[in-house]
């Protein structure tokens, strides 16, 4: 549990890496003054920019195609698109989202091996011709609807490594069956241009990437021997997006770069792309929710009505149940679908007294539990609880079950990020944002929409990065 506010800490005195929590406090205070208690996200644009820079620096040979499914917020897509990433789309609607940003179809891979025929027709109409496949029926579909497509054979990743979300049970041709599938593609006169894999979302062992690249190399050789003009390797997603992940991005690249250089050296001319999702957005989004109800429950009595009264738990500390206005049917769907774990933090000044607490969502379903047991200080209705690292597989899969609204997204931009990324002027500016844009607060501002960010700053400029 973290206490950032209090003890003389002000937003202005915070170093940049701590501003996230301060921003939450500032925005929550503003909403309190407006008598607004709705849950909200703060998307730290600087975090996304920093991830982009890190990718370019540590994995320079690999072009990122951001997986739109992970978080399709307009601000995320616009920022990443302007920085220079391309996109992995899974459907017609994701394709349109990306094309509507004004990006060319060449910046898209349609990376869903099992596509709806009408979506495939749509891809053909909009010239999105790079796409994955992993089965014969898909080849027949492509032949009928989009025979000029450039196909990428998705193979199964190795199955003996730990991952947060496995994908191999649904997608991927076993490497030993690749030749057969390629023969079918040849018979249909389809163009297969390379190989892809996805080690699983949230890889927990960096070595998985090395084994998968080695397997991809084998299939690559098979394709080349069969006369296919293979020029593309797609190493999928699975890259960690937050510091609490089981492995770090640095650990992945330490394994990946040598193996790529060994099997696919720059001299081979092979284009290497990836489909990172959570890497870019997980840590950028902080979710803050309001305590809308509260209950104290005695823990010294068993709750089981079939047991006699004198059966006690042996623990005389009371426990609190807090009900907040986002839950597993909303942003916390990640607990079910993404096998995520979340950690509540509080905004109040540091009290050392904490109590066993559970945190629940707002719907009438008993399943709607966010944390079953966590130590929190005593909180009151109307206070805020926030959760960091909520950018991946949260917003995109949330519902409005029970009529509960989705949280709004606000955008945080800090002067450091502004000067290094967006600056409208031709040279980098070292002055604080408040000096250049006088109506802004010292050091940062929180925007209601991403369009407002662009109105003030202009578009991000990759050449500044």
Choose between 223 and 238: whose C-beta lies nearer to ligand PLP: 238
Nearest approach, Cβ of residue 259 and ligand PLP (Å) = 18
Nearest approach, Cβ of residue 203 and ligand PLP (Å) = 7
Choose between 273 and 413: whose C-beta lies nearer to ligand PLP: 273
Choose between 275 and 326: whose C-beta lies nearer to ligand PLP: 275
217 close to 174: Cβ distance less than 8 angstroms: no
Based on the shown chain and the rule CB under 6 A, indicate whether residue 194 belongs to the binding site for ligand PLP: no
Nearest approach, Cβ of residue 444 and ligand PLP (Å) = 28
How big is the site for ligand PLP, counted in residues (CB under 6 A)?
Answer: 17
What DSSP string runs through 150-188?
EEEEEBPPPSSS-EEE--TTTS-B-GGGHHHHHHHHHHT
Q: Of 9, 36, 89, 364, which is the active-site residue?
A: 364
Q: What is the CA radius of gyration of the chain?
A: 25
**Identified binder of ligand PLP from the candidate list 75, 81, 158, 236, rule CB under 6 A:** 236
- Is the Cα torsion angle 407, 409, 410, 412 positive or negative in sign? positive
Nearest approach, Cβ of residue 61 and ligand PLP (Å) = 18
Nearest approach, Cβ of residue 112 and ligand PLP (Å) = 7
**Identified binder of ligand PLP from the candidate list 46, 277, 361, 377, rule CB under 6 A:** 277
Based on the shown chain and the rule CB under 6 A, indicate whether residue 26 belongs to the binding site for ligand PLP: no
Nearest approach, Cβ of residue 240 and ligand PLP (Å) = 9
274 close to 234: Cβ distance less than 8 angstroms: yes
Based on the shown chain and the rule CB under 6 A, indicate whether residue 414 belongs to the binding site for ligand PLP: no
111-120 long-range Cβ contacts below 8 angstroms, 24+ apart? 111/65, 111/67, 111/154, 111/196, 111/234, 111/275, 113/138, 113/154, 113/171, 113/172, 114/138, 114/171, 115/141, 116/91, 116/92, 117/141, 117/144, 117/145, 118/92, 119/91, 119/92, 119/95, 120/145, 120/146
Based on the shown chain and the rule CB under 6 A, indicate whether residue 157 belongs to the binding site for ligand PLP: no
CB neighbour list of residue 285: distance below 8 Å, 6 or more residues apart: 41, 42, 43, 44, 71, 389, 390, 391, 394, 395, 409
**Identified binder of ligand PLP from the candidate list 275, 326, 368, 445, rule CB under 6 A:** 275
Choose between 39 and 50: whose C-beta lies nearer to ligand PLP: 50
297 close to 321: Cβ distance less than 8 angstroms: yes
Based on the shown chain and the rule CB under 6 A, indicate whether residue 27 belongs to the binding site for ligand PLP: no
DSSP 127: T
Choose between 237 and 460: whose C-beta lies nearer to ligand PLP: 237
Based on the shown chain and the rule CB under 6 A, indicate whether residue 75 belongs to the binding site for ligand PLP: no
Return the bridge partners of 376, or none.
355
Q: Hunting for tokens 């009151």 — which residue is that? A: 380
Nearest approach, Cβ of residue 65 and ligand PLP (Å) = 8
Nearest approach, Cβ of residue 130 and ligand PLP (Å) = 13
- Tokens standing for residue 80: 């990443």
**Identified binder of ligand PLP from the candidate list 51, 115, 278, 414, rule CB under 6 A:** 278
Based on the shown chain and the rule CB under 6 A, indicate whether residue 175 belongs to the binding site for ligand PLP: no
Choose between 79 and 89: whose C-beta lies nearer to ligand PLP: 89
CB neighbour list of residue 98: distance below 8 Å, 6 or more residues apart: 68, 77, 81, 87, 89, 107, 108
Concerning whether 364 is annotated as a catalytic residue, the answer is yes
- Is the Cα torsion angle 372, 376, 380, 385 positive or negative in sign? negative
Based on the shown chain and the rule CB under 6 A, indicate whether residue 70 belongs to the binding site for ligand PLP: yes
For 429, left (φ over 0), alpha (ψ -120 to 50), or beta? beta
Nearest approach, Cβ of residue 236 and ligand PLP (Å) = 5
Based on the shown chain and the rule CB under 6 A, indicate whether residue 201 belongs to the binding site for ligand PLP: yes
DSSP 204: S
Based on the shown chain and the rule CB under 6 A, indicate whether residue 111 belongs to the binding site for ligand PLP: yes
In 3D space, the residue among 83, 126, 155 whose CA is nearest the CA of residue 417 turns out to be 83
Based on the shown chain and the rule CB under 6 A, indicate whether residue 276 belongs to the binding site for ligand PLP: yes
Of the candidate spans 93-101, 181-189, 235-243, 406-414, the one that interacts with ligand PLP by CB under 6 A turns out to be 235-243
Based on the shown chain and the rule CB under 6 A, indicate whether residue 461 belongs to the binding site for ligand PLP: no
Based on the shown chain and the rule CB under 6 A, indicate whether residue 67 belongs to the binding site for ligand PLP: yes
357-376: contacts with ligand PLP (CB under 6 A): none
Based on the shown chain and the rule CB under 6 A, indicate whether residue 237 belongs to the binding site for ligand PLP: yes
Q: What is the pairing mode between strands 285-297 and 319-324?
A: antiparallel
Based on the shown chain and the rule CB under 6 A, indicate whether residue 51 belongs to the binding site for ligand PLP: no
CB neighbour list of residue 355: distance below 8 Å, 6 or more residues apart: 317, 318, 319, 320, 375, 376, 377, 378
Residues acting as catalytic residues: 364
- Give residues in contact with ligand PLP (CB under 6 A): 67, 70, 88, 111, 167, 198, 201-202, 236-239, 275-279
């Amino acid at each position: 549990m973290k206490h950032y506010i209090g003890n003389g800490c002000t937003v202005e005195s915070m170093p940049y890496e701590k501003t996230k929590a301060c921003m939450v406090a500032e925005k929550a205070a503003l909403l309190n003054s407006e008598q607004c208690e709705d849950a909200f996200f703060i998307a730290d644009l600087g975090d996304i920019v920093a991830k982009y820079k890190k990718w370019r620096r540590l994995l320079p040979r690999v072009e990122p195609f951001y997986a739109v499914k992970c978080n399709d917020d307009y601000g995320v897509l616009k920022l990443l698109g302007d920085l220079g990433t391309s996109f992995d789309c899974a459907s017609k609607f994701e394709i349109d989202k990306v094309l509507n940003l004004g990006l060319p179809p060449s910046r898209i891979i349609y990376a869903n091996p099992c596509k709806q025929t009408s979506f495939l027709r749509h891809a053909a109409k909009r010239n999105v011709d790079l796409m994955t496949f992993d089965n014969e029926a898909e080849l027949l579909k492509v032949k009928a609807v989009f025979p000029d497509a450039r196909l990428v054979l998705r193979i199964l990743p190795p199955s003996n490594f730990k991952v947060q979300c496995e994908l191999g049970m649904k997608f991927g041709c076993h490497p030993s069956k690749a030749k057969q599938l390629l023969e079918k593609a040849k018979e249909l006169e389809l163009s297969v241009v390379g190989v892809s894999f996805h080690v699983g979302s949230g890889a927990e062992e960096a070595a998985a990437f090395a084994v998968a690249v080695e397997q991809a190399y084998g299939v690559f050789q098979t394709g080349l021997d069969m006369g296919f003009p293979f020029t593309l390797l797609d190493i999928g997603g699975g890259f960690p997006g937050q510091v609490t992940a089981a492995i770090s991005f640095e650990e992945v690249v330490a394994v990946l770069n040598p193996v790529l250089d060994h099997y696919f050296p720059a001299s081979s001319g092979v284009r290497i792309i990836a489909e990172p999702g959570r890497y870019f957005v997980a840590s950028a989004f902080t979710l803050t929710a309001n305590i809308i109800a509260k209950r104290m429950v005695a823990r010294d009595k068993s709750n089981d009505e079939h047991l006699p009264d004198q059966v006690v738990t042996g623990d005389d500390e009371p426990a609190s149940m807090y009900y907040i206005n986002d839950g597993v049917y909303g942003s916390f769907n990640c607990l079910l679908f993404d096998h995520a774990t979340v950690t509540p933090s509080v905004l109040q000044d540091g009290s050392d007294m904490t109590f066993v607490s559970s945190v629940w969502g707002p719907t009438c379903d008993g399943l709607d539990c966010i944390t079953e047991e966590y130590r929190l200080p005593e909180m009151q209705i109307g206070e805020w609880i926030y959760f960091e690292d909520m950018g991946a597989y949260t917003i995109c899969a949330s519902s409005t079950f029970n009529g509960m609204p989705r949280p709004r997204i606000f955008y945080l931009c800090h002067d450091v990020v502004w000067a290094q990324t967006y600056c409208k002027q031709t040279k980098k500016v070292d002055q604080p944002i408040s000096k250049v844009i006088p109506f802004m607060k010292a050091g940062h501002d929180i925007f209601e929409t991403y369009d407002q960010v662009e109105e003030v700053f202009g578009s991000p400029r990759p050449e500044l990065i």
